[in-house]
Chain A
Amino acid sequence: MSQRPLLHVTVVTAQQTVFDGSAEMVIAPGGDGQLGILPRHAPLLTTLAQGELRVRQHGVDESIFVAGGFLEVNSNVVTILADDAERATEVDEARAQEARDRARALLARGGLSTEVEAETTAELNRAVGRLRIAELQRQRRGTRPRPPQPEQEI
């Protein structure tokens, strides 16, 4: 029995490379619903929705926030071209909260042009998504037998 090959996963945004490494499995928020990718997956190209991307390495999931973009699978190489992406552990919750509140305030005040409103709504969605993933990450951490992370409840 030959060893199962690994996936090579790269997550890039227009600004930076967020993740680059090998993995046993990838769970991604596809445009048409969640999808899981294992090694030897057929070539696939799909759009991404906003949500949580999970990359399993040595049985442990690395959680990454992604918003929009594409996922390509081709001969065990998974490339994710995201519009926005951030590792859950690197999400700055204070900043995300600030962004969320700012976007909410702008939308509540009204009087925005359609373009700005769409932009602000997207921003709000991203901030909320970021916070949710950071929250999920914290909960998972809590259940695992690991030294407790200093938690900040705001």
Chain B
Amino acid sequence: MASTREIRRRIQATKNIAQITRAMQMVASSKMRRAQERVLAARPYSEQLMKLLSRLSTQAEGQEDLPLMKSRAVKRIGIVAVTPDRGLAGALSSNINRRVGQLAAELRREHNDPNLPISFIAVGRKGRDFLARSKQNLIAEFTKLGDQPKLADVRAIARAITDAYLNEEVDQVYLVYPKYVSTVVQTPTVSQLLPVQAPEAADETGPAPQYIFEPDATAIFAELLPRYIETLIYQPLLETVASFYSAQMVAMRNATDSATELQADLTLTYNKVRQAAITTQILEIVAGSGAL
């Protein structure tokens, strides 16, 4: 059995760990609340935009010449992996990375081509590291976006993706991100970015209205689509931040609990060892005095 001094040192170390994880848990939980609010505040915009697009999609007018909506034969695929920048958040990043790998395999199977070229765009350091480590074809990376992704950053990402698509470097683009479901559940989610697919019309009855367009339908679509893509990127970024802090909070709470438990175990062992030492000493004294 270890010496009492060694056990005392371990108890102290565990205490320090618990202190740090508890602090991190508290920081994460307050940041999580703010991130959640941002996710909720941003939802109306993306919902309205999707509704608008689904109503418009029935009006084919001028849509044929929109390159962002036209699908073509798939020879190359792009995958955007949205991950947090930092770790210590349980399995969050590795779940996303695993889903990215799975998606790549699924797509290759679907197209019956095990060598289908897939390019990756990493948003967030964790995904970047994973893709770089597994030597994937990484065409762009965006890291250090912070807790409040700025519109300029979103634009840059959107531009990188649409440029790759318009230059025919990729024929289809998917995005993988951790969808924020609740504090304990974050699901890796896949959505298709390009070609733009008009969202399904949601529970709306009656024929779509015949809109008057100003200046004209093509101009409106030309403005609408880039914004739609930006929203499809912006929303996941917010969800990723919220997911990250929730996952970190839960992970740190578990760590604090484990540390406290370990501390209790160690204290018990420490007392046992101490008592055993005392007993041995008494026995020695008794044995010694008996011999006299």
Contact = CB atoms under 8 A, between A and B. Distances in A.
Interface of A: 10, 12-17, 30-32, 35, 42-47, 69-70, 72, 74-75, 79, 81, 83, 119
15 contacts: A10-B48, A31-B214, A31-B215, A32-B215, A45-B52, A45-B212, A47-B214, A47-B219, A47-B223, A69-B227, A70-B223, A74-B209, A75-B209, A79-B48, A119-B152
Interface residues on B, range: 20 to 34
B45 A14 contact: yes
A42 B41 CA distance: 30
A116 to B, nearest CB: 9
Contacts of B152: 119
Contacts of A70: 52, 220, 223-224
Interface in B218-241: 219-220, 223-224, 227, 230-231, 234
A45 B214 contact: yes
Given A70-B223, A72-B52, A32 B214 contact: yes
B52 A81 contact: yes
B48 A14 contact: no
Contacts of B223: 47, 70
Interface in B108-159: 151-152
A113 to B, nearest CB: 12
A13 B52 CA distance: 14
Interface in B22-55: 38, 41-42, 44-46, 48-49, 52, 55
